[in-house]
Structure 1
Amino acid sequence: MDNVDFMVLSTLEKLGCSFCEEHDNLAGLDRDDFVEGVVKLLWTIDDKFRKELPDLKLSPHAAKKFQSATTIADTINGLGFKEKIGYQSILYPNVFDIRKIFINLIEKLPEEKVWVERELSPFEQLTADVSKRVEDDFKILWVPPFCRRLKMIHDGRFWNEDTDIELISFRTNRFTSDEIMDRRYRFCQILNDNNNVIPASAIEFPFPTSGPIRPMKPIISRKPVIKPKPKPRTIPVQPSESENDEIDRIASEIAMLSSEVESVKHEIMECQYAEARLEDDMIWIKDSIAAVDPQLLELLSTEEDLIPRLTDELAELNENIMKAQDVFIQAEQELEAEYSALKAEKGLDDGDQATKGQLETLREVLNQKTSALNESRRQANVLRKRVADIVTDSERAKYRKEIMEVMRNIDSQYKEKNKIYNDNCTLVKEIEHLNGILNRTYAVVEKWMTNDAYINKLQQAYRNLVAMHERCYSVRELIKECSAVNREIDELLDEIEIQSQNAASIHLDELMTDIAQIRQENHALQTRGTVE
Structure 2
Amino acid sequence: MEEVDHIIIHSLKSIDCDIDDDIVCLKQFNTELIVSTIVSCIKFINNEIDLPNTLPPGMSARFRMGASLANCIQDIGYRGDLGYQTFLYSNESEIRKIFMFLVEKLPKDSSQTAEEPLGSSVLLQRAISAVISRQMQSPWTPPYLKNKGVTWRGKPPTWQREGACNMHNFHGVHLTSPEGVADLNKKIPKELRAYYNQSLPFVTKQTLRHFDTAPSVIEQNSSEVVAHQEWETEWNQSGLASRLSQQEFRAKKKQKIQRMISDRLRQDAQRREGARETDMLRDLQQVISSISNRAKSGAKTKGSRFAHTEKLMFGKDEEKTMAQIGGEVPTKDTEEEQKQKREEEIESLRGELGELASRLEQLDTENRKFAASHQQMQDTISTETRTMDDKEQAYRVKKRTLDLLPDAENNIAKLQELVDNSGKKLILLASKWEQHRAPLIDQYRELRDLNSKKESEAQKKLEEIKAFRARMKEFADDTRHKEELHKQLQSEYERMTKDVNRSAYTRKIMEIVGNIKKQKQEIDKVLVDTREIQKEINSLSGKIDRTFIVTDELIFKDAKKDEAVKKAYRFLAALHENCDHLIKTVEETGVIMREIRDLEDQIENESKNKVLANLEKITEDFQQMKKENSTMIARIKQQS
| TM-score interval, smaller chain | 0.3 to 0.5
More helix by share: 2
- Larger RCO: Structure 1 or Structure 2 (Cα < 8 Å, ≥ 6 residues apart)? 2
TM-score (norm 1): 0.39
TM-score (norm 2): 0.34
